Amino acid sequence: LFGFKKKVSGLNFTPIDPTDKDDLVLPRGYKYDVVAAYGDVINKKGDTFGYNNDFTMYFPINGSNERGLLWVNHEYTSDLWVTGARGKDGKYTKAQIEKLLYNQGGSIIEVYRDENGVWKMDTTSKYARRITGLTPFKLTGAAKGSKAVGGATNVQGTFANCSGGKTLWNTLLSAEENYEYTARDAGLDETHYGWIVEVDPFNESFAPRKHTALGRFHHENSAMGLTNDGRVVVYMGDDKTDACVYKFISKNKYVESRKQANADLLEEGTLYAANMSKGTWVALTIDAVRAAAKDKKEILEKFQTQADVLVNADEAAKLLGATPTDRPEDVEISPFDKTVFIAHTNNSKHGNIHGHITRFIEANDDLGSLTFDFEIFACGGRQSGFSAPDNLTFDSEGNLWTVTDMSSSVVNKGVFSTFKNNGVFVIPTIGENQGEAFQFASAPVEAELTGPCFTHDETTLFLAVQHPGEETEDIKNPTSMWPHRKGDNQPRPSVVAITGFKY
Ligand code: FEO
Ligand code: CA
Ligand code: CA
Ligand code: CA
Protein backbone atom coordinates (compact mmCIF):
# COMPACT_ATOMS: atom_id res chain seq x y z
CA LEU A 1 0.00 0.00 0.00
CA PHE A 2 2.72 2.48 0.96
CA GLY A 3 5.34 1.14 -1.45
CA PHE A 4 4.16 3.24 -4.38
CA LYS A 5 6.34 6.32 -4.73
CA LYS A 6 6.06 9.27 -6.95
CA LYS A 7 7.23 12.83 -6.89
CA VAL A 8 4.74 15.49 -5.92
CA SER A 9 4.09 18.01 -8.67
CA GLY A 10 5.88 21.26 -7.95
CA LEU A 11 7.83 19.79 -5.07
CA ASN A 12 11.08 18.00 -5.27
CA PHE A 13 10.82 15.27 -2.66
CA THR A 14 10.30 11.57 -2.59
CA PRO A 15 7.63 10.73 0.00
CA ILE A 16 8.79 8.82 3.07
CA ASP A 17 7.25 5.65 4.47
CA PRO A 18 5.45 5.70 7.82
CA THR A 19 7.87 4.92 10.63
CA ASP A 20 7.91 4.53 14.41
CA LYS A 21 11.47 5.82 14.76
CA ASP A 22 12.09 8.22 17.67
CA ASP A 23 13.16 11.06 15.43
CA LEU A 24 11.80 13.72 13.12
CA VAL A 25 12.24 11.80 9.88
CA LEU A 26 12.41 13.80 6.61
CA PRO A 27 12.85 12.93 2.93
CA ARG A 28 16.38 12.55 1.62
CA GLY A 29 18.09 15.92 1.15
CA TYR A 30 16.20 17.72 3.94
CA LYS A 31 17.46 18.47 7.44
CA TYR A 32 16.18 20.07 10.61
CA ASP A 33 17.77 22.37 13.17
CA VAL A 34 16.35 22.52 16.70
CA VAL A 35 15.75 26.24 17.17
CA ALA A 36 14.21 26.31 20.65
CA ALA A 37 13.34 23.61 23.16
CA TYR A 38 11.35 23.63 26.40
CA GLY A 39 13.31 25.42 29.12
CA ASP A 40 15.78 27.20 26.81
CA VAL A 41 16.58 30.80 27.76
CA ILE A 42 15.13 33.12 25.09
CA ASN A 43 16.35 36.60 26.11
CA LYS A 44 18.76 38.60 28.24
CA LYS A 45 16.22 38.77 31.05
CA GLY A 46 16.38 34.99 31.37
CA ASP A 47 12.83 34.17 30.27
CA THR A 48 12.48 30.56 29.18
CA PHE A 49 10.72 28.81 26.31
CA GLY A 50 7.38 27.30 27.41
CA TYR A 51 6.09 23.76 27.15
CA ASN A 52 4.25 21.88 24.38
CA ASN A 53 4.92 24.27 21.51
CA ASP A 54 2.11 24.33 18.95
CA PHE A 55 1.36 27.04 16.33
CA THR A 56 4.34 28.94 14.91
CA MET A 57 4.28 32.13 12.85
CA TYR A 58 7.32 33.74 11.22
CA PHE A 59 7.51 37.55 11.12
CA PRO A 60 10.40 38.66 8.86
CA ILE A 61 12.67 41.44 10.13
CA ASN A 62 13.16 43.92 7.26
CA GLY A 63 11.61 41.39 4.87
CA SER A 64 14.33 38.82 5.53
CA ASN A 65 13.89 35.08 4.95
CA GLU A 66 16.88 34.47 7.20
CA ARG A 67 16.12 36.61 10.26
CA GLY A 68 12.79 37.19 11.91
CA LEU A 69 10.62 36.84 14.95
CA LEU A 70 8.93 33.53 15.55
CA TRP A 71 5.76 33.47 17.60
CA VAL A 72 5.21 30.07 19.21
CA ASN A 73 2.10 28.92 21.10
CA HIS A 74 2.49 26.83 24.26
CA GLU A 75 -0.63 24.76 24.64
CA TYR A 76 -0.42 22.80 27.88
CA THR A 77 1.97 21.48 30.51
CA SER A 78 2.90 18.11 32.01
CA ASP A 79 2.80 16.97 35.62
CA LEU A 80 5.77 14.72 34.93
CA TRP A 81 8.09 17.26 33.33
CA VAL A 82 6.84 20.75 34.23
CA THR A 83 4.81 21.19 37.41
CA GLY A 84 5.40 17.97 39.33
CA ALA A 85 2.51 15.87 40.63
CA ARG A 86 -0.52 17.33 42.42
CA GLY A 87 -0.99 16.94 46.15
CA LYS A 88 -3.19 14.24 47.69
CA ASP A 89 -6.14 16.64 47.46
CA GLY A 90 -5.69 16.72 43.67
CA LYS A 91 -4.53 20.33 43.81
CA TYR A 92 -1.39 22.14 42.78
CA THR A 93 0.51 24.38 45.21
CA LYS A 94 0.81 28.12 44.52
CA ALA A 95 4.32 27.62 43.10
CA GLN A 96 3.07 24.83 40.83
CA ILE A 97 0.24 27.05 39.57
CA GLU A 98 2.78 29.73 38.65
CA LYS A 99 4.79 27.17 36.70
CA LEU A 100 1.65 25.92 35.01
CA LEU A 101 0.67 29.42 33.90
CA TYR A 102 4.19 30.53 32.98
CA ASN A 103 4.78 27.59 30.66
CA GLN A 104 1.60 28.13 28.63
CA GLY A 105 0.72 31.09 26.39
CA GLY A 106 3.31 32.06 23.81
CA SER A 107 6.96 32.85 23.16
CA ILE A 108 8.31 35.56 20.90
CA ILE A 109 11.82 34.53 19.89
CA GLU A 110 14.24 35.96 17.36
CA VAL A 111 15.63 33.40 14.92
CA TYR A 112 18.28 33.63 12.20
CA ARG A 113 20.13 31.46 9.73
CA ASP A 114 23.87 31.60 10.30
CA GLU A 115 26.66 31.57 7.72
CA ASN A 116 26.63 27.74 7.73
CA GLY A 117 22.92 27.63 6.93
CA VAL A 118 21.97 26.59 10.47
CA TRP A 119 18.90 28.18 12.11
CA LYS A 120 19.49 29.44 15.65
CA MET A 121 17.83 31.53 18.32
CA ASP A 122 19.27 35.00 19.02
CA THR A 123 18.97 35.39 22.79
CA THR A 124 20.35 38.94 22.63
CA SER A 125 17.16 39.97 20.79
CA LYS A 126 15.46 43.21 21.87
CA TYR A 127 12.08 41.69 20.92
CA ALA A 128 12.22 38.28 22.61
CA ARG A 129 9.69 37.99 25.44
CA ARG A 130 7.02 35.75 26.88
CA ILE A 131 3.26 36.10 26.96
CA THR A 132 1.94 33.74 29.61
CA GLY A 133 -0.96 32.78 31.83
CA LEU A 134 0.19 35.61 34.10
CA THR A 135 0.29 38.44 31.48
CA PRO A 136 -2.42 41.14 31.81
CA PHE A 137 -4.92 41.22 28.92
CA LYS A 138 -7.70 43.62 28.05
CA LEU A 139 -11.06 42.52 26.71
CA THR A 140 -12.57 44.19 23.64
CA GLY A 141 -15.99 43.93 22.03
CA ALA A 142 -19.52 43.44 23.27
CA ALA A 143 -18.69 41.07 26.13
CA LYS A 144 -16.16 43.49 27.67
CA GLY A 145 -17.40 44.59 31.09
CA SER A 146 -20.63 42.60 30.68
CA LYS A 147 -22.40 40.51 33.26
CA ALA A 148 -21.55 37.47 31.12
CA VAL A 149 -17.83 37.85 32.05
CA GLY A 150 -18.46 38.98 35.62
CA GLY A 151 -18.06 42.64 34.63
CA ALA A 152 -14.40 42.16 33.69
CA THR A 153 -12.62 44.59 31.35
CA ASN A 154 -9.12 43.31 32.14
CA VAL A 155 -8.27 39.66 32.74
CA GLN A 156 -5.30 37.55 33.69
CA GLY A 157 -3.29 35.67 31.11
CA THR A 158 -3.75 33.39 28.14
CA PHE A 159 -3.40 29.60 28.12
CA ALA A 160 -4.36 26.47 26.19
CA ASN A 161 -3.06 28.25 23.07
CA CYS A 162 -3.50 25.80 20.24
CA SER A 163 -3.16 27.30 16.77
CA GLY A 164 -3.65 30.84 15.45
CA GLY A 165 -3.04 33.11 12.51
CA LYS A 166 -1.53 36.36 11.28
CA THR A 167 -3.57 39.50 10.71
CA LEU A 168 -3.35 41.65 7.58
CA TRP A 169 -1.71 44.29 9.81
CA ASN A 170 1.15 41.99 10.89
CA THR A 171 0.02 41.11 14.40
CA LEU A 172 -0.57 37.67 15.80
CA LEU A 173 -3.82 35.91 16.69
CA SER A 174 -3.62 32.99 19.09
CA ALA A 175 -6.51 30.64 19.86
CA GLU A 176 -7.44 29.58 23.39
CA GLU A 177 -8.68 26.01 23.03
CA ASN A 178 -9.13 23.59 25.97
CA TYR A 179 -9.11 26.34 28.60
CA GLU A 180 -11.22 24.54 31.24
CA TYR A 181 -8.40 22.44 32.70
CA THR A 182 -5.92 25.21 33.38
CA ALA A 183 -8.63 27.65 34.50
CA ARG A 184 -9.88 25.08 37.00
CA ASP A 185 -6.40 24.08 38.22
CA ALA A 186 -5.35 27.72 38.64
CA GLY A 187 -8.63 28.82 40.24
CA LEU A 188 -9.40 31.32 37.45
CA ASP A 189 -12.79 32.33 36.05
CA GLU A 190 -13.59 30.15 32.96
CA THR A 191 -15.49 32.93 31.20
CA HIS A 192 -12.27 34.85 30.81
CA TYR A 193 -10.84 32.15 28.49
CA GLY A 194 -11.78 30.51 25.21
CA TRP A 195 -11.15 33.64 23.13
CA ILE A 196 -9.02 34.72 20.19
CA VAL A 197 -6.20 36.87 21.55
CA GLU A 198 -4.08 39.43 19.69
CA VAL A 199 -0.44 40.36 20.33
CA ASP A 200 1.99 42.51 18.35
CA PRO A 201 5.34 40.67 18.46
CA PHE A 202 7.27 43.81 17.49
CA ASN A 203 5.55 46.20 19.88
CA GLU A 204 5.32 45.57 23.59
CA SER A 205 3.19 48.68 24.10
CA PHE A 206 0.39 47.21 21.96
CA ALA A 207 -1.76 45.90 24.83
CA PRO A 208 -2.37 42.14 24.56
CA ARG A 209 -6.12 41.76 24.03
CA LYS A 210 -8.94 39.25 23.74
CA HIS A 211 -11.50 39.93 21.02
CA THR A 212 -14.87 38.86 22.38
CA ALA A 213 -16.65 39.72 19.10
CA LEU A 214 -15.09 36.54 17.64
CA GLY A 215 -16.96 34.41 20.15
CA ARG A 216 -15.93 32.14 22.99
CA PHE A 217 -15.50 28.45 22.27
CA HIS A 218 -12.69 25.89 21.91
CA HIS A 219 -10.83 28.03 19.42
CA GLU A 220 -8.41 26.10 17.24
CA ASN A 221 -7.15 28.82 14.92
CA SER A 222 -8.02 31.81 12.77
CA ALA A 223 -7.71 32.41 9.03
CA MET A 224 -8.09 36.01 7.92
CA GLY A 225 -9.16 37.33 4.53
CA LEU A 226 -11.13 40.18 2.99
CA THR A 227 -14.67 40.34 1.61
CA ASN A 228 -15.01 41.64 -1.94
CA ASP A 229 -16.04 45.00 -0.47
CA GLY A 230 -13.01 45.19 1.84
CA ARG A 231 -14.24 44.07 5.24
CA VAL A 232 -12.19 41.65 7.31
CA VAL A 233 -13.27 37.99 7.56
CA VAL A 234 -11.93 35.56 10.15
CA TYR A 235 -12.69 31.83 9.75
CA MET A 236 -12.47 29.74 12.91
CA GLY A 237 -12.80 26.13 14.02
CA ASP A 238 -14.20 24.98 17.38
CA ASP A 239 -12.24 21.85 18.28
CA LYS A 240 -14.82 19.83 20.13
CA THR A 241 -16.85 16.81 19.06
CA ASP A 242 -20.02 17.97 17.29
CA ALA A 243 -19.04 21.62 17.05
CA CYS A 244 -19.54 24.26 14.36
CA VAL A 245 -17.49 26.20 11.85
CA TYR A 246 -17.55 29.99 12.34
CA LYS A 247 -16.71 33.17 10.52
CA PHE A 248 -16.60 36.73 11.76
CA ILE A 249 -17.11 39.67 9.40
CA SER A 250 -16.09 43.13 10.57
CA LYS A 251 -18.50 46.04 10.39
CA ASN A 252 -15.91 48.41 8.97
CA LYS A 253 -13.45 48.12 6.12
CA TYR A 254 -9.76 47.39 6.24
CA VAL A 255 -7.55 50.41 5.49
CA GLU A 256 -3.95 49.37 4.91
CA SER A 257 -2.47 52.73 5.91
CA ARG A 258 -4.06 52.44 9.37
CA LYS A 259 -1.62 49.59 10.12
CA GLN A 260 -2.05 48.14 13.64
CA ALA A 261 -4.99 50.49 14.32
CA ASN A 262 -6.95 48.04 12.15
CA ALA A 263 -7.07 45.83 15.25
CA ASP A 264 -10.28 47.69 16.13
CA LEU A 265 -11.95 45.89 13.20
CA LEU A 266 -12.03 42.82 15.42
CA GLU A 267 -14.11 44.66 18.02
CA GLU A 268 -17.27 45.15 16.02
CA GLY A 269 -18.99 42.95 13.45
CA THR A 270 -21.12 39.84 13.05
CA LEU A 271 -20.29 36.30 14.11
CA TYR A 272 -21.74 33.58 11.85
CA ALA A 273 -21.89 29.78 12.10
CA ALA A 274 -22.27 27.39 9.15
CA ASN A 275 -25.52 25.58 8.43
CA MET A 276 -24.18 22.91 6.07
CA SER A 277 -27.58 21.45 5.11
CA LYS A 278 -28.77 24.78 3.77
CA GLY A 279 -25.38 26.17 2.78
CA THR A 280 -25.97 29.34 4.76
CA TRP A 281 -24.03 31.37 7.30
CA VAL A 282 -26.29 32.01 10.27
CA ALA A 283 -25.80 35.32 12.13
CA LEU A 284 -25.48 34.81 15.87
CA THR A 285 -27.44 37.77 17.19
CA ILE A 286 -29.34 38.14 20.43
CA ASP A 287 -32.57 38.88 18.56
CA ALA A 288 -32.29 35.69 16.52
CA VAL A 289 -31.48 33.60 19.59
CA ARG A 290 -34.41 35.00 21.59
CA ALA A 291 -36.77 34.45 18.67
CA ALA A 292 -35.56 30.85 18.30
CA ALA A 293 -35.98 30.27 22.04
CA LYS A 294 -39.72 30.98 21.73
CA ASP A 295 -41.05 30.66 25.28
CA LYS A 296 -38.30 28.43 26.70
CA LYS A 297 -37.63 30.24 29.97
CA GLU A 298 -34.21 28.76 30.66
CA ILE A 299 -32.85 29.93 27.30
CA LEU A 300 -34.45 33.37 27.56
CA GLU A 301 -32.86 33.77 30.97
CA LYS A 302 -29.43 32.70 29.78
CA PHE A 303 -29.47 34.82 26.60
CA GLN A 304 -30.36 38.42 27.41
CA THR A 305 -27.62 40.40 25.65
CA GLN A 306 -25.20 40.00 22.73
CA ALA A 307 -22.50 39.34 25.33
CA ASP A 308 -24.41 36.21 26.40
CA VAL A 309 -24.42 35.05 22.76
CA LEU A 310 -20.66 35.59 22.41
CA VAL A 311 -19.81 33.87 25.69
CA ASN A 312 -22.06 30.88 24.88
CA ALA A 313 -21.41 30.82 21.12
CA ASP A 314 -21.73 27.04 20.62
CA GLU A 315 -25.13 26.89 22.29
CA ALA A 316 -26.36 29.91 20.32
CA ALA A 317 -25.07 28.48 17.04
CA LYS A 318 -26.86 25.17 17.51
CA LEU A 319 -30.06 26.86 18.63
CA LEU A 320 -29.99 28.75 15.32
CA GLY A 321 -29.49 25.61 13.21
CA ALA A 322 -25.73 25.58 12.65
CA THR A 323 -24.37 22.12 11.86
CA PRO A 324 -22.43 20.12 14.45
CA THR A 325 -19.30 18.69 12.75
CA ASP A 326 -16.47 16.30 13.53
CA ARG A 327 -14.05 18.46 15.53
CA PRO A 328 -13.31 21.36 13.17
CA GLU A 329 -9.65 22.25 13.70
CA ASP A 330 -7.49 24.33 11.41
CA VAL A 331 -9.07 26.47 8.69
CA GLU A 332 -7.10 27.93 5.76
CA ILE A 333 -8.18 30.08 2.83
CA SER A 334 -6.72 28.91 -0.48
CA PRO A 335 -4.60 31.73 -1.94
CA PHE A 336 -5.53 30.39 -5.41
CA ASP A 337 -9.31 30.36 -5.50
CA LYS A 338 -10.44 31.60 -2.05
CA THR A 339 -12.04 28.25 -1.25
CA VAL A 340 -11.82 27.49 2.46
CA PHE A 341 -10.29 24.25 3.79
CA ILE A 342 -11.28 22.88 7.19
CA ALA A 343 -9.61 19.93 8.90
CA HIS A 344 -12.14 17.80 10.79
CA THR A 345 -9.77 15.75 12.87
CA ASN A 346 -12.14 12.92 13.83
CA ASN A 347 -15.25 12.09 15.85
CA SER A 348 -15.31 8.68 17.45
CA LYS A 349 -18.93 9.27 18.52
CA HIS A 350 -19.97 8.87 14.88
CA GLY A 351 -17.36 6.37 13.74
CA ASN A 352 -15.36 9.03 11.89
CA ILE A 353 -12.15 7.58 13.29
CA HIS A 354 -9.69 9.05 10.78
CA GLY A 355 -11.25 12.43 9.99
CA HIS A 356 -11.47 14.39 6.74
CA ILE A 357 -10.82 17.77 5.15
CA THR A 358 -13.78 19.81 3.96
CA ARG A 359 -13.67 22.55 1.32
CA PHE A 360 -16.16 25.42 1.46
CA ILE A 361 -16.87 27.28 -1.77
CA GLU A 362 -18.30 30.70 -0.95
CA ALA A 363 -20.93 32.06 -3.36
CA ASN A 364 -19.41 34.36 -6.03
CA ASP A 365 -15.96 33.55 -4.61
CA ASP A 366 -16.67 36.27 -2.05
CA LEU A 367 -15.56 35.54 1.51
CA GLY A 368 -18.34 37.94 2.55
CA SER A 369 -21.08 35.72 1.05
CA LEU A 370 -23.73 34.37 3.35
CA THR A 371 -24.27 31.27 1.20
CA PHE A 372 -21.84 28.54 0.25
CA ASP A 373 -21.47 25.03 -1.13
CA PHE A 374 -19.01 22.44 0.14
CA GLU A 375 -17.30 19.16 -0.67
CA ILE A 376 -15.26 16.60 1.24
CA PHE A 377 -11.83 17.27 -0.23
CA ALA A 378 -9.84 14.40 1.32
CA CYS A 379 -10.55 11.61 3.80
CA GLY A 380 -8.29 10.05 6.40
CA GLY A 381 -7.84 6.28 6.36
CA ARG A 382 -5.74 3.49 4.93
CA GLN A 383 -6.30 4.54 1.34
CA SER A 384 -5.08 8.12 1.76
CA GLY A 385 -2.40 7.13 4.28
CA PHE A 386 -3.14 9.75 6.95
CA SER A 387 -5.36 9.92 10.02
CA ALA A 388 -6.57 12.86 12.12
CA PRO A 389 -5.75 15.96 10.02
CA ASP A 390 -5.12 19.00 12.20
CA ASN A 391 -3.02 22.06 11.24
CA LEU A 392 -2.94 23.20 7.62
CA THR A 393 -0.83 25.61 5.61
CA PHE A 394 -0.55 26.38 1.88
CA ASP A 395 2.57 26.68 -0.23
CA SER A 396 2.78 28.71 -3.42
CA GLU A 397 2.29 25.59 -5.59
CA GLY A 398 -1.21 25.02 -4.21
CA ASN A 399 -0.20 22.19 -1.93
CA LEU A 400 -1.97 21.92 1.40
CA TRP A 401 0.54 20.93 4.07
CA THR A 402 -1.37 18.88 6.62
CA VAL A 403 -0.13 17.63 9.97
CA THR A 404 -1.79 14.77 11.80
CA ASP A 405 -2.82 14.39 15.43
CA MET A 406 -3.55 10.81 16.36
CA SER A 407 -3.56 11.18 20.12
CA SER A 408 -0.65 9.74 22.10
CA SER A 409 -2.86 7.13 23.75
CA VAL A 410 -3.87 5.54 20.42
CA VAL A 411 -1.00 6.26 18.05
CA ASN A 412 0.60 3.10 16.66
CA LYS A 413 -2.13 0.91 18.17
CA GLY A 414 -5.09 -1.00 16.74
CA VAL A 415 -6.58 0.64 13.64
CA PHE A 416 -3.94 3.38 13.88
CA SER A 417 -0.93 1.05 13.61
CA THR A 418 -0.81 1.25 9.82
CA PHE A 419 0.06 5.00 10.03
CA LYS A 420 2.82 4.53 12.64
CA ASN A 421 3.87 7.90 14.16
CA ASN A 422 2.13 11.20 13.40
CA GLY A 423 3.32 13.03 10.34
CA VAL A 424 3.25 15.86 7.83
CA PHE A 425 1.45 15.21 4.55
CA VAL A 426 1.42 17.28 1.39
CA ILE A 427 -1.92 17.30 -0.44
CA PRO A 428 -2.12 19.08 -3.81
CA THR A 429 -5.33 21.17 -4.14
CA ILE A 430 -4.80 22.03 -7.81
CA GLY A 431 -3.37 20.21 -10.81
CA GLU A 432 -2.56 16.52 -10.96
CA ASN A 433 -2.62 14.41 -7.78
CA GLN A 434 -5.34 16.69 -6.36
CA GLY A 435 -6.55 15.29 -3.03
CA GLU A 436 -3.76 12.69 -2.81
CA ALA A 437 -1.57 12.74 0.31
CA PHE A 438 2.23 12.38 0.22
CA GLN A 439 4.13 11.96 3.48
CA PHE A 440 6.85 14.55 4.06
CA ALA A 441 7.75 13.99 7.73
CA SER A 442 7.30 11.55 10.59
CA ALA A 443 7.24 12.62 14.24
CA PRO A 444 9.23 11.24 17.17
CA VAL A 445 7.51 8.69 19.44
CA GLU A 446 4.12 9.87 20.80
CA ALA A 447 4.71 13.36 19.39
CA GLU A 448 2.44 15.44 17.24
CA LEU A 449 3.75 17.80 14.57
CA THR A 450 2.05 21.19 14.79
CA GLY A 451 2.22 24.73 13.51
CA PRO A 452 3.86 24.36 10.09
CA CYS A 453 4.91 27.80 8.79
CA PHE A 454 7.02 28.68 5.74
CA THR A 455 9.29 31.65 5.31
CA HIS A 456 8.00 33.83 2.46
CA ASP A 457 10.48 32.35 -0.06
CA GLU A 458 9.63 28.80 1.11
CA THR A 459 13.25 27.86 1.72
CA THR A 460 12.52 27.11 5.39
CA LEU A 461 9.60 25.37 7.09
CA PHE A 462 9.18 25.94 10.82
CA LEU A 463 7.49 23.11 12.65
CA ALA A 464 6.66 22.49 16.31
CA VAL A 465 7.23 19.01 17.69
CA GLN A 466 4.76 18.69 20.54
CA HIS A 467 4.66 16.19 23.42
CA PRO A 468 7.36 13.62 22.47
CA GLY A 469 7.20 10.72 24.95
CA GLU A 470 3.84 11.84 26.30
CA GLU A 471 2.82 8.38 27.51
CA THR A 472 5.88 8.03 29.75
CA GLU A 473 5.00 6.69 33.19
CA ASP A 474 8.44 6.29 34.73
CA ILE A 475 10.45 9.51 34.52
CA LYS A 476 13.66 7.45 34.57
CA ASN A 477 12.53 5.51 31.54
CA PRO A 478 10.99 7.92 28.99
CA THR A 479 9.32 6.46 25.88
CA SER A 480 11.07 9.15 23.80
CA MET A 481 14.28 11.11 24.32
CA TRP A 482 13.85 13.38 21.32
CA PRO A 483 15.52 15.77 20.43
CA HIS A 484 18.37 13.68 21.84
CA ARG A 485 20.42 16.69 22.88
CA LYS A 486 23.68 15.98 24.68
CA GLY A 487 23.28 15.95 28.45
CA ASP A 488 19.49 15.86 28.37
CA ASN A 489 17.61 13.42 30.59
CA GLN A 490 14.09 14.10 29.33
CA PRO A 491 12.33 14.57 26.00
CA ARG A 492 11.68 18.25 25.12
CA PRO A 493 8.97 19.73 22.94
CA SER A 494 10.93 21.82 20.45
CA VAL A 495 10.54 24.02 17.41
CA VAL A 496 12.61 23.06 14.40
CA ALA A 497 13.54 24.76 11.13
CA ILE A 498 13.50 22.43 8.14
CA THR A 499 15.68 23.28 5.13
CA GLY A 500 16.61 21.62 1.88
CA PHE A 501 13.67 22.83 -0.26
CA LYS A 502 14.53 22.90 -3.96
CA TYR A 503 12.31 23.94 -6.82
FE1 FEO B 1 -5.11 21.68 20.30
FE2 FEO B 1 -7.37 21.18 18.36
O3 FEO B 1 -5.69 20.79 18.83
CA1 CA C 1 -4.34 21.55 17.01
CA1 CA D 1 -5.57 18.29 17.58
CA1 CA E 1 -2.81 18.14 20.20
DSSP string over 111-149: EEE-TTS-EEE-TT-SS-EEE-TTSEEEEESTTTT-GGG
Bridge partners of residue 283, in order along the sequence: 272
**What pLDDT, on a 0 to 100 scale, did the predictor assign at position 397?**
87
Distance CA 449, CA 370 (A): 34
Contacts of 325 (CB under 8 A, 6+ apart): 242, 243, 244, 245, 276, 342, 344, 347, 358
Instruction: Name the band, by pLDDT with cuts 50, 70 and 90, for residue 11.
Output: low
Query: Do the Cβ atoms of 124 and 44 come closer than 8 Å?
Result: yes
Starting from the CA of residue 75, give the closest ligand: 1
Bridge partners of residue 427, in order along the sequence: 400
In tens, the pLDDT along 354-365 reads 999 999 999 999
Q: Which atom of ligand 1 is nearest to the CA of 162?
A: 1
Q: Any idea which of 1-5, 112-116, 197-201 has the lowest mean pLDDT?
A: 1-5
Ligand 1 geometric centre to CA of 161 (Å): 9
In tens, the pLDDT along 422-438 reads 999 999 999 888 999 99
Ligand 2 geometric centre to CA of 329 (Å): 6
Nearest to 292 by CA among 309, 269, 278: 309
Q: Which atom of ligand 1 is nearest to the CA of 218?
A: 2
Distance CA 360, CA 323 (A): 14
Ligand 2 geometric centre to CA of 378 (Å): 18
Instruction: Please compute Rg for the chain using Cα positions.
Output: 22
In tens, the pLDDT along 383-412 reads 999 999 999 999 998 999 999 999 999 999
Ligand 1 geometric centre to CA of 503 (Å): 32
Q: What is the mean predicted confidence (pLDDT) over 146-165?
A: 98
In tens, the pLDDT along 34-64 reads 999 999 999 999 999 999 999 999 999 999 9
Distance CA 70, CA 166 (A): 12
Q: Any idea which of 2-6, 226-230, 309-313 has the lowest mean pLDDT?
A: 2-6
Asked whether residue 440 carries a pLDDT value surpassing 90, the answer given is yes
Q: Any idea which of 6-10, 102-106, 159-163 has the lowest mean pLDDT?
A: 6-10
Q: Which atom of ligand 1 is nearest to the CA of 220?
A: 2
Asked whether residue 330 carries a pLDDT value surpassing 80, the answer given is yes
Q: Cβ < 6 Å from ligand 1: which residues?
A: 75, 162, 177, 220, 239, 329, 390
| ipTM of predicted complex | 0.93
In tens, the pLDDT along 12-25 reads 799 999 999 999 99
**What pLDDT, on a 0 to 100 scale, did the predictor assign at position 1?**
28
Asked whether residue 8 carries a pLDDT value surpassing 80, the answer given is no
Starting from the CA of residue 408, give the closest ligand: 4
Distance CA 335, CA 399 (A): 11
Ligand 4 geometric centre to CA of 467 (Å): 8
DSSP 146-207: -GGGTT-SEEE----EEEEEE-TTS-EEEEE-SHHHHHHHHT--GGG-S-EEEE-TT-TTS-
**What pLDDT, on a 0 to 100 scale, did the predictor assign at position 326?**
98
Query: Do the Cβ atoms of 171 and 199 come closer than 8 Å?
Result: yes
User: Is residue 469 exposed (0-12), middle (13-18) or buried (19+ Cβ within 10 Å)?
Assistant: buried
The domain locations on the chain are: 31-499
Nearest to 422 by CA among 455, 459, 385, 456: 385
Q: Which atom of ligand 1 is nearest to the CA of 178?
A: 1
Asked whether residue 3 carries a pLDDT value surpassing 60, the answer given is no
Asked whether residue 216 carries a pLDDT value surpassing 90, the answer given is yes
To the nearest whole number, what is the mean pLDDT of the chain? 96
Share of the chain above pLDDT 90, in %: 96
Query: Do the Cβ atoms of 440 and 429 come closer than 8 Å?
Result: no
In tens, the pLDDT along 468-489 reads 999 999 999 999 999 999 999 9
Peptide bond into 27 cis (omega under 30): no
What is the architecture of the domain spanning 31-499? 6 Propeller (2.120)
Starting from the CA of residue 218, give the closest ligand: 1
Ligand 3 geometric centre to CA of 416 (Å): 15
Q: What is the mean predicted confidence (pLDDT) over 248-254?
A: 98
> Which residue has the least CA distance to atom 3 on ligand 1?
162
Starting from the CA of residue 345, give the closest ligand: 3
Asked whether residue 10 carries a pLDDT value surpassing 90, the answer given is no
Q: Which atom of ligand 1 is nearest to the CA of 327?
A: 2
Asked whether residue 94 carries a pLDDT value surpassing 80, the answer given is yes
> Which residue has the least CA distance to atom 1 on ligand 1?
162
